[in-house]
């Protein structure tokens, strides 16, 4: 199945150490996903939640997920318009929704707030739905 995954899902799989149930799916993401995941991993090490070694291992897992990234910048206007329409203050989450809409596929997320808003536009799945 073709899926757009958000940073919450990618981070979960990176910390788990493998693609897990995502391995059998065609995965897509906005270009910003890699930076978001790296930023959260760095923040977790800064707070002492995980070691630098674990964060480094987790970051390398991101490369093994086989993500097809949208061209950087290609979602700026669709995300801006979608965020405006949904009343969202920021466009980062709207990039995930815009990509799922563009690809006519579900968005996979662990983020309940994002899922509620995105469900107005695209089908939203959680890991249990796989």
Domain span at residue 11 reads 2-129
Residue whose C-alpha is closest to residue 122's, from 110, 107, 111: 107
Torsion of CA 78, 82, 85, 90, to 10 degrees: -110
Per-residue pLDDT of 55-89, as tens digits, reads 999 999 999 999 999 999 999 999 999 999 999 99
Tokens of 66: 């086989």
DSSP-assigned letters across all residues of 88-128: -S-SHHHHHHHHHHHHT-PEE-S-HHHHHHHTTTS-EE-GG
CATH number at residue 43: 3.40.50.1010
Which uninterrupted H or E stretch holds 14? Answer: helix 7-16
Structural domains in the chain (count): 1
Percent of the chain with pLDDT over 70: 100
Longest distance between any two alpha carbons in the chain, whole Å = 42
CA dihedral over 25, 7, 17, 124, signed as positive or negative: negative
Q: Would the pLDDT of 47 be above 90?
A: yes
For the question of whether the overall pTM of this predicted structure is more than 0.85, the answer is yes
Q: Would the pLDDT of 130 be above 90?
A: no
Q: Would the pLDDT of 27 be above 90?
A: yes
- Integer-rounded Cα Rg, in Å, for the chain is 14
- How far separated are the first and last CA of the chain, in Å rounded? 9
Averaged pLDDT, 7-22: 96
């Amino acid at each position: 199945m073709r899926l757009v995954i958000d940073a919450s899902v990618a981070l979960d799989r990176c910390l788990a150490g493998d693609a897990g149930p995502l391995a059998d799916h065609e995965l897509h993401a906005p270009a910003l996903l890699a930076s978001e995941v790296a930023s959260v991993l760095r923040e977790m090490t800064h707070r002492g939640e995980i070691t630098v070694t674990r964060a480094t291992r987790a970051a390398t897992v991101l490369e093994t997920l086989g993500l097809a990234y949208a061209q950087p910048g290609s979602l700026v206007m669709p995300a801006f318009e979608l965020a405006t329409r949904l009343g969202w203050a920021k466009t980062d989450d709207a990039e995930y929704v815009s990509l799922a809409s563009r690809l006519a596929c579900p968005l996979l997320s662990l983020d309940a707030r994002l899922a509620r808003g995105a469900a107005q536009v695209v089908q939203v799945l959680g890991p249990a739905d796989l």
